[in-house]
C-alpha cells in the first residue's frame, strides 16, 4: 500500500473516513473528497501530510473533472479510485416520486459513472489503475421496502460496473473495475437518508465502518472483481435468485417485515 495514490469519495465520515485513516497508516497517498469542508478537513488531519482534502460534489461532472486534475497535479498519477459516496432513502415504492428516483440515481449511480469515465483516459495511458465501486446488499436483494429506490440505484451500479469492466478488459487488461457489497453498516447512513430513517448504528447485526474498510483495503491488494463484506452474502444472493418460488422466499424474514407507517 505504501505510496499508492488512492482517491476516496464520501471521505468525510463513515466507511470513507475509516478507510482513509486505515490506508494512511499503511503509507498510501490519499486524495479525500467530500462536500462537507469541516468534516473532511478533520479526517485529513488524522491522516497526516500525505492526505489532500478536496471539497467537491461528485454528483457534478465538472467537480469530478476537477478532482482528477487536482490528484494528477499533486501526485502525477492515480492508482486507485474508490467511489464510496452514496445516500439512502426512506419511502415505500408505491409512494416514490420522480425527484426521489432522480436523487438516488444521481448520487448512487451517475456519480460513479462520472468518476469511471473521467479517470479512464489516465488509466488507459498507463494500462494500469483500479476503480472500486461501493455498492450494497440491497442492490443484490431488495429486502428493505423503504429502500426501494436506493436498491434500484445500486442494482444499476452493479450492472454498470460489470459492463464497464468487460469493456475495459477487452483493450486494457491492466485496469480493474471492482464491486464491493456491504450489508448494514453502523454509520450515520440511515440518519442522513432522504426523508429520514432509522439510525443504522442502532440496527442489529451491523458491521462497523472499520470492518468494511478492511475488506476494501484487501480488495485494493487482491483486485478481486466482486466482493461481499460478509462471507454469507454471496450465498444469500445465490439462494434468492436460484429459488423457484420467490413468493415463498419473500414471505419469510428478512423480507416478511411489517410495512412502515
Question: Which are the catalytic amino acids?
Answer: 150
Q: Whose CA is closest to 55, among 46, 25, 42, 47?
A: 42
C-alpha cell at 86: 452514496
Q: Check residue 245 and report its DSSP letter.
A: -
For residues 49 and 26, the answer to whether their CB atoms sit within 8 Å is no
What does the block give as the cell for 204?
Answer: 442489529
What are the CB-based long-range contacts (under 8 Å, 24+) for 103-110? 103/194, 104/149, 104/150, 104/152, 104/153, 104/194, 105/153, 105/156, 106/59, 107/59, 107/153, 108/150, 108/153, 108/154, 108/156, 108/157, 109/153, 109/154, 109/156, 109/157, 109/160, 110/59
Amino acid at each position: 500500500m505504501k505510496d499508492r495514490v488512492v482517491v476516496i469519495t464520501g471521505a468525510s465520515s463513515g466507511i470513507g473516513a475509516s478507510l482513509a485513516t486505515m490506508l494512511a497508516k499503511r503509507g498510501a497517498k490519499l486524495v479525500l473528497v467530500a462536500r462537507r469542508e469541516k468534516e473532511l478537513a478533520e479526517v485529513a488531519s488524522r491522516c497526516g501530510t500525505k492526505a489532500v482534502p478536496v471539497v467537491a460534489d461528485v454528483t457534478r461532472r465538472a467537480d469530478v473533472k476537477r478532482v482528477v486534475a487536482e490528484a494528477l497535479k499533486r501526485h502525477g498519477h492515480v492508482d486507485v479510485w474508490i467511489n464510496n459516496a452514496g445516500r439512502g432513502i426512506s419511502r415505500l415504492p408505491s409512494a416514490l416520486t420522480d425527484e426521489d428516483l432522480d436523487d438516488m440515481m444521481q448520487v448512487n449511480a451517475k456519480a460513479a459513472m462520472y468518476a469511471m469515465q473521467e479517470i479512464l483516459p489516465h488509466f488507459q495511458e498507463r494500462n494500469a489503475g483500479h476503480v472500486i465501486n461501493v455498492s450494497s446488499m440491497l442492490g443484490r436483494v431488495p429486502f428493505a421496502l423503504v429502500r426501494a429506490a436506493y436498491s434500484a440505484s445500486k442494482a444499476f451500479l452493479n450492472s454498470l460496473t460489470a459492463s464497464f469492466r468487460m469493456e475495459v478488459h477487452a483493450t486494457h487488461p491492466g485496469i480493474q473495475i471492482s464491486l464491493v457489497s456491504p450489508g448494514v453498516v453502523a454509520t450515520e447512513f440511515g440518519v442522513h437518508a432522504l426523508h429520514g430513517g432509522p439510525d443504522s448504528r442502532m440496527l442489529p447485526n451491523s458491521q462497523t465502518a472499520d470492518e468494511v474498510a478492511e475488506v476494501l483495503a484487501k480488495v485494493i491488494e487482491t483486485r478481486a472483481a466482486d466482493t461481499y463484506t460478509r462471507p454469507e452474502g454471496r450465498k444469500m444472493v445465490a439462494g434468492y435468485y436460484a429459488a423457484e418460488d420467490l413468493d415463498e422466499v419473500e414471505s419469510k424474514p428478512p423480507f416478511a417485515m411489517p410495512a412502515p407507517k
